[in-house]
Structure 1
Amino acid sequence: MSTQRTRVGKYELGRTVGEGNFSKVKFARNVESGESVAIKIMDKDTLLKHKMVKQIKREISTMKLIKHPNVVLLHEVMASKKRIYIVLEFVMEGELFDKIVHQGRLREDEARKYFQQLINAVDYCHSRGVSHRDLKPENLLLDSYGNLKVSDFGLSALPQQVREDGLLHTTCGTPNYVAPEIINDKGYDGATADLWSCGVILFVLMAGYLPFDEPNVMALYKKICKADFRYPLWFSSSAKKLISRILDPNPKMRITVSEILKNEWFKKGYKPPKFQEDEDVGLDDIDVVFGDSEEHLVTEIKETKPVIMNAFELISMSQSLNLGNLFEQHMGLVKRETRFTSKHPAKEIISKIEEASGPLGFKVKKQNNKLKLQGVNTGRKGSLSIATELFEVVPSLCMVEVRKAGGDTLEFHEFYKKLSSALKDIVWKSKVNIREIT
């Protein structure tokens, strides 16, 4: 049994590790160096149809400007006749959000370490004139050394977007993390608004839940505009003082980054980042990949290879390159993607998933060893969409990956619990132990 592999330039594409409305992110390997990367793939026609070209150019420009150890690194940008490929650093451990969901609140020292790295990254972004505008735990990744990496600059703002009044005016961001001045729609300073989001993130890291969380958006915004929240009993007084200074609804009174860096709670165990800046950052190649010239285009080459999972894909699924974790820790950690193993034949596994999905309210679309499950009902973030893919690790052992393609993550958690219960006869090894942000 074999399958087609795609090679783009010097990269061999592997499994899909994430999906968005206008893109897919695939694990890939640089065949020249052996380095693992993540490649964000977008269809040119789709970007043109939805008038997304300007936004994608801005995202790429932003990431080229930001070369910092706590920001996901952009390696290069390529294009074929039909697609754009953004080659990014592959961050092994996934999202900080998943760590909170699985573990609950973090110890104060651990939360402080992540917050320090977040402030380092945000301070550097602001020094280059970049406002992120969508800071939240879902956009903070962790590498194999436990270092934080800021990602997803799709809503970022560059200096040229500032109006004559010196402010930004585009309303954007995630409601629970958005600053009051953005809600008030009278213009805002992007850097000051980013700091508010950092304060919400710090609260979430230490509490395990959001400071502002209401099912009704208007009620949520009222609480945000008044900074109406309460601290858990376990917060230290120095942490509460700092968070209160950050979550000040008056942006002119809000603490600045330079003041945060001098704060006694923040400075405990602080390690300034060490890195070398690139002085000259060229942006000319961005227009080239969106142009019509074929001179700089890469070619997609299809290669037929065995369907049995190869070593570099196994490594991409493992934690800190420890393959034992592939079949142990990850079995109990339900994130935006999770997986289980089975000794049953591939056809039987796919059939069982198909049978179990219908009663759970999903329509099933099947293609080879892949299933796309589309929720019939509308959830908190639209209908839940799930992609499943089956890999043959060895002839007698299959791995099934279940990944959220759209919708709400916590609803995906609930779905997976029900699915794993329905599939208990075919799952070889699985433990479900979910702690949710409430």
Structure 2
Amino acid sequence: MATNSSSSPTTTTRKEGQGLLMGRYEIGKLLGHGSFSKVYLARNVKTNEFVAIKVIDKEQILKGGLISHIKREISILRRVRHPNIVQLFEVMATKAKIFFVMEYVKGGELFNKVAKGRLKEEIARNYFQQLISAVGFCHARGVFHRDLKPENILLDEDGNLKVSDFGLSAISDQIRGDGLFHTFCGTPAYVAPEVLGRKGYEAAKVDVWSCGVILFVLMAGYLPFNDQNVMVMYKKIYKGEFRCPRWFTPELTRLLKRLLQTNPEKRITIPEIMENRWFKKGFQDVKFYLEDDKLYSVPHGEIEADVIDYSSGSESQTIPEARKQLRVSASMPRPASLNAFDLISFSPGCSLSGLFEDGGEESRFVSSASVPNIISKLEEIAKGVSFKVRKKDFRVSLEGSREGERGPLTIGAEIFELTPNLRVLELKKKAGDRVEYDEFFDRELRPGLRTLMLPDPVSIEPNKE
């Protein structure tokens, strides 16, 4: 969520959500809101400086299983104190709310500037230099943004760029054993082809691709990969089909072709970008220092220590109580979350599997049933046909006993969280004959699951070619 406003910073008091917070911040107008939070303009009554305060409803994030996201966001924002990144100043909490006190950036989104038309080369280059400086710093600190786009880049009153919204970011600790990330996320027009391929990707190279798209947009005033037909756009991205307009210089065109290289192994790296002739024109290396951790209100990187309770009275909660409550919640397993891009890829006619994946029958359904109820129903179906059931967290494997030409039929089921009230059940043939799978799906799975699934057109039928 962008913590900015293009209007002048003024505060008002005693309206909904407004007042004096912790005796330190005068809460003003609402700047924006999301599913679980609201962002307000505020003024530090001691320094008279304006800040943006993100107010998060603790009960909602606990119920929604989003505590790990909050922990990760705090950890990430602590790592990336850079002049071209929106800063987190401190984190506070009451029994009901968590407060992120952040830098207030009032120049608006970079998107609003680009929407008026393409930028002059010198201006676009300056923004790109600041973007690469910030992204390179993030990567050096083990942080990968994964959703870079003009809407997530703010401008301060001096025209300096500020990267924001680390909600989809990841840290190096999340890399799997194969050295790759596998979460399918990002914004379609800015996402790298290897993410579309769903085979695993290096997040640093994904960020570089997105930076390339942003540079193209700054210089051209439109997207390099764009089409009214979303599938045509996906194919263009996957094949790297784009054309530079005639006003691009040869140096810029060569750089963009290296940024938008579909093979991530051949794509230009951040250090190589910084040595590029077009990039280096007028570049001034950013000089800054990492402030001592004592200046943070989040000294240890874990939310149990990060959430500092400044409240008093009936709203207050002691630090041990807060830590205990958050630890208990964090220990409760939750299904993996899906984003809007996942839904696009799941939709009939928009599935990417036919373009980028060989074989593998799968189907998906949306359900309002709880995770235990969905698992119980799968066990019930398996018992009726004498299939063996293996369970681990939100994955269930149904294994037949009859040996076919390709071994016993084995079906994998995985449950994802769409919203706090909706789940997506994905079913996929892992082994066995396809004809046997189709028959089992039509005869057992579809009828057995019908009572738990939302009616069409929400349910997503099997992709049978």
* TM-score normalised to structure 1 length: 0.65
SS at match of 2:60: helix
Instruction: Tell me, yes or no, if the aligned pair for 1:59 and 1:153 is still in contact at 8 Å.
Output: yes
Partner residue, 1:242: 255
Matches of 2:173 and 2:277, distance apart in 1: 36
- The alpha-carbon distance between structure 1 residues 199 and 284, as it changes in their structure 2 partners (threshold 3 A), is closer
> Paired residue for 2:280?
267
Say whether the 8 Å CA contact 1:8–1:300 is kept in structure 2: no
User: 1:115-167: per-residue Cα shift (whole Å, max 9, x none)?
Assistant: 00000000000000000000000011011111100000111101111001111
| 3-state SS of 1:18 partner | strand
Rounded Cα–Cα distance in structure 1 between residues aligned with 2:210 and 2:197: 16
Which amino acid letter does the alignment assign opposite residue 259 of structure 1? Answer: E
What is the deviation of 1:299? 5.1
Instruction: Tell me the CA shift for residue 218 of structure 1.
Output: 2.5
CA distance in 1, matches of 2:174, 2:227: 31
For 1:7 and 1:146, the matched residues in 2 are separated by 31
Distance 1:130 1:227 in 2: 26
Q: Does 1:44 align with 2:58?
A: yes
The one-letter amino acid paired with 1:283 is H
Give the distance between the partners of 2:227 and 2:313, measured in 1 at CA: 47
Q: Which residue of 1 aligns with 2:225?
A: 212
Q: Secondary structure at the match of 1:269?
A: coil
Q: Say if 2:303 is the partner of 1:286.
A: yes
The answer for unaligned runs of 5 or more in structure 1 is: 303-438
User: Does residue 142 of the first structure (1) align with residue 155 of the second (2)?
Assistant: yes
Alpha-carbon deviations, 1:292-343, whole Å to 9, x = none? xxx82425999xxxxxxxxxxxxxxxxxxxxxxxxxxxxxxxxxxxxxxxxx
Counterpart residue type for residue 74 of structure 1: L
Higher relative contact order (CA 8 A, sep 6+): 1
Q: Cα distance, 1:221 vs. partner? A: 1.4
Name the amino acid aligned to 2:263.
Answer: N
State the secondary structure of the residue aligned to 1:33.
coil
Aligned to 1:154: 167
| Count of aligned positions | 297
SS at match of 2:262: coil
Letter in 2 for 1:90: Y
1:165 aligns with 2:182: no
Query: Could you tell me which residue of structure 1 aligns to residue 20 of structure 2?
Result: 7
Native 8 Å contact 1:60 1:286 kept in 2: yes
Q: Percent identity?
A: 54
1:77-116 matched pairs, under 5 angstroms: 77-101=91-115, 103-116=116-129
Q: 1:110 to 1:19 in 2, by over 3 A?
A: same
In the alignment, does 2:76 pair up with 1:62? yes
List runs of 5+ in structure 2 lacking aligned partners. Answer: 1-11, 316-465
Q: CA deviation at 1:49?
A: 2.0
Structure 2 CA distance for aligned equivalents of residues 235 and 29 of structure 1: 44
Matched, 1:258 2:267: no
Q: Which deviations, in whole Å up to 9, do the C-alpha atoms of 1:52-81 show, x marking residues without a partner?
A: 111121111101111110101110001111
Q: CA deviation at 1:113?
A: 0.2
Q: State the match for 2:46 in structure 1.
A: 32
Letter aligned with residue 122 of structure 2: D
Match of residue 205 from structure 2: 192
1:3, 1:187 → 2: CA distance?
Answer: 50
SS in 1 for 2:112: helix
Residue deviations 1:372-392 (CA, integer Å, cap 9, x gap): xxxxxxxxxxxxxxxxxxxxx
Answer yes or no: is the 8 Å Cα contact 2:154–2:163 preserved in 1.
yes
Partner of residue 143 from structure 2, selected from 113, 130, 135:
130
CA RMSD of aligned residues (A): 2.1
- Name the CA shift for 1:69/1:289 in 2 (closer, same or farther; >3 Å): closer
